[in-house]
């Protein structure tokens, strides 16, 4: 369980999930977040293939015949009357991002430590807002980002198929 | 009637490119194979091997949420088999009330293992899934198809 500072103590920027991009030749996907306030900024987070799939299902509001893992989490929360207030990506250590899920039940708030992929997957399914702390934005790993941007530039210059999901 | 099942093993099915969770009853009379995806198999295998990942995996996160509000997994029941899809129910105890939640068996088992909760199968499911079918399938397997988890 995380003991993340409350959002009033941390300066937060609201983000939205833009899309999930396939990384060719690897078992990872890239979760791309964009700022809600419209300022140009793409925030990519490398996640596992299964986690990427779970986010894609929520983004596309795909109905699966059986509940997927994050649907089950949502179902638990509905049964227990727990809601997701917000998700905050509030820390980064050794290129690993840390998220905190803020929960509420009858006025009782709890925070749970999570990987950003799980936190985002749940936020999308519960329509909870997603924030990134300014601290994380300042400290994020730009090496990965630059590499990724270079790749994106290559892609758009070639006539390869567009991977945009939205 | 329900029968308590134990996780006998987890193996790779090279023909379907999927994994099989093999449940068996106490005296070994009943076997229940459940085909699951790669991610779900990973979630079950981590709990079986007691691997503590550096970051919480999806089912660890799931359990953290239940723990945060002191909701407890009492048991898991594999309730139905319909066109090769298995259905499970997770029984939760929360604030002196019991809740029953619909789940895929893979999620239910991954959570049961993390919560030390027993797994049961309904008699009707065991009857539907004749173990002959599994035995035939097992006979066709080469020894190297077995994962290290199989005992």
Residue B28 DSSP symbol: S
Residue B75's beta-bridge partner residues? B91
Residue A34 domain-assigned (yes or no): yes
pLDDT band at A162 (very low <50, low <70, confident <90, very high): very low
Residue A5 domain-assigned (yes or no): no
Interface test with B, best of A45, A65, A66 (most B CBs within 10 A): A66
Residue B43 has pLDDT above 70, yes or no: yes
Domain assignments of chain B as residue spans, ordered by start: 2-145
Contact at CB, B65 and A75, closer than 8 angstroms: no
pLDDT band at B5 (very low <50, low <70, confident <90, very high): very high
Residue A84 domain-assigned (yes or no): yes
Residue B131 has pLDDT above 60, yes or no: no
What average pLDDT does chain B have?
Answer: 87
Residue B1 has pLDDT above 50, yes or no: yes
Residue A115 domain-assigned (yes or no): yes
Q: Report the share of chain A in percent with pLDDT over 90.
A: 67
pLDDT score recorded for residue B139? 65
pLDDT score recorded for residue B28? 85
pLDDT score recorded for residue A142? 66
Residue A33 domain-assigned (yes or no): yes
ipTM of model: 0.87
pLDDT band at B141 (very low <50, low <70, confident <90, very high): low
Query: Based on C-alpha coordinates, what's the Rg of chain B?
Result: 15
Write phi, then psi, for A25 (nearest 5 degrees): 65, 5
Residue A6 domain-assigned (yes or no): no
What is the C-alpha separation between B20 and B23, in angstroms, rounded? 9
Q: How far is A45 from chain B (nearest CA, A)?
A: 15
pLDDT band at A10 (very low <50, low <70, confident <90, very high): confident
Q: State the total domains in chain A.
A: 1
pLDDT one-digit tens code per residue, A95-113 = 899 999 999 999 999 999 9
Q: How far is A139 from chain B (nearest CA, A)?
A: 20
Range of the domain at A48: 12-157
Q: How far is B97 from chain A (nearest CA, A)?
A: 10
Residue A163 domain-assigned (yes or no): no
Tell me the three-class secondary structure of chain A, residue by residue. Answer: CCCCCCCCCCCEEEEEEEEEEECCCCCEEEEEEEECCCCCCEEEEEEEHHHHHHHHHHHCCCCCCCCCHHHHHHHHHHHHCCEEEEEEEEEEECCEEEEEEEEEECCEEEEEEECHHHHHHHHHHHCCCEEEEHHHHHHCCHHHHHHHHHHHHHHHHCCCCCCCCC
pLDDT one-digit tens code per residue, A32-60 = 999 999 898 889 999 999 999 999 999 99
The CATH number for A132's domain is 3.10.690.10
Residue B88 has pLDDT above 80, yes or no: yes
Residue B10 has pLDDT above 70, yes or no: yes
CATH label, B2-145, candidates 3.40.630.30, 3.40.80.10, 3.10.690.10, 1.20.140.10: 3.10.690.10
Residue A82 has pLDDT above 60, yes or no: yes
Residue A129 has pLDDT above 90, yes or no: yes
Residues of A with CB under 8 A from a CB of B: 1, 48-51, 54, 65-70, 72-73, 75-77, 79-80, 82, 96, 98, 101, 103, 105, 108, 110-115, 118
**Region B120-139: what's the mean pLDDT?**
74
Show residues of chain B in contact with A66, CB under 8 Å. 85, 87, 104
Residue A1 domain-assigned (yes or no): no
Q: Cβ atoms within 10 A of the Cβ of B96, count?
A: 5
């Amino acid at each position: 369980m995380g003991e993340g500072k409350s959002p009033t103590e941390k300066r937060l920027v609201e983000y939205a999930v833009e899309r999930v991009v396939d990384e060719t030749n690897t078992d990872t996907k890239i979760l791309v977040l964009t700022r809600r306030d419209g300022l140009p900024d793409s925030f990519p987070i490398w996640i596992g293939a299964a986690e990427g799939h779970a986010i894609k299902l929520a983004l596309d509001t795909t109905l699966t015949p059986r509940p997927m893992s994050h649907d089950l989490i949502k179902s638990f929360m509905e049964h227990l009357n727990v809601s997701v207030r917000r998700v905050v990506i509030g820390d980064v250590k050794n290129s690993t991002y840390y998220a905190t899920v803020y929960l509420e039940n009858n006025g009782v708030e709890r925070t749970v430590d999570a990987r950003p992929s799980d936190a985002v997957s749940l936020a999308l399914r519960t329509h909870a807002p997603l924030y990134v702390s300014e601290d994380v934005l300042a400290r994020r790993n730009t090496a990965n980002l630059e590499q990724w941007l270079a790749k994106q530039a290559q892609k758009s210059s070639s006539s390869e198929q567009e991977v945009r999901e939205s | 009637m329900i029968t308590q099942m134990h996780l006998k093993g987890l193996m790779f099915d090279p023909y379907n490119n999927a994994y099989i969770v093999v449940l068996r009853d106490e005296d070994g009379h009943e076997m229940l194979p459940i085909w699951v995806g790669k991610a779900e198999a990973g979630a079950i295998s981590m709990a079986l091997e007691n691997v503590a990942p550096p970051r919480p995996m999806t089912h660890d996160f799931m359990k953290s949420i239940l723990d945060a509000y002191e909701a407890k997994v009492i048991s898991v029941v594999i309730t139905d088999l319909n066109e090769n899809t298995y259905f499970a129910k997770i029984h939760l105890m929360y604030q002196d009330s019991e809740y029953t939640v619909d789940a895929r068996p893979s999620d239910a088992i991954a959570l049961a293992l993390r919560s030390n909760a027993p797994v049961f199968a309904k008699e009707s499911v065991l009857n539907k899934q004749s173990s002959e079918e599994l035995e035939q399938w097992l006979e066709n397997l080469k020894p190297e198809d077995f994962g290290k988890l199989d005992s």
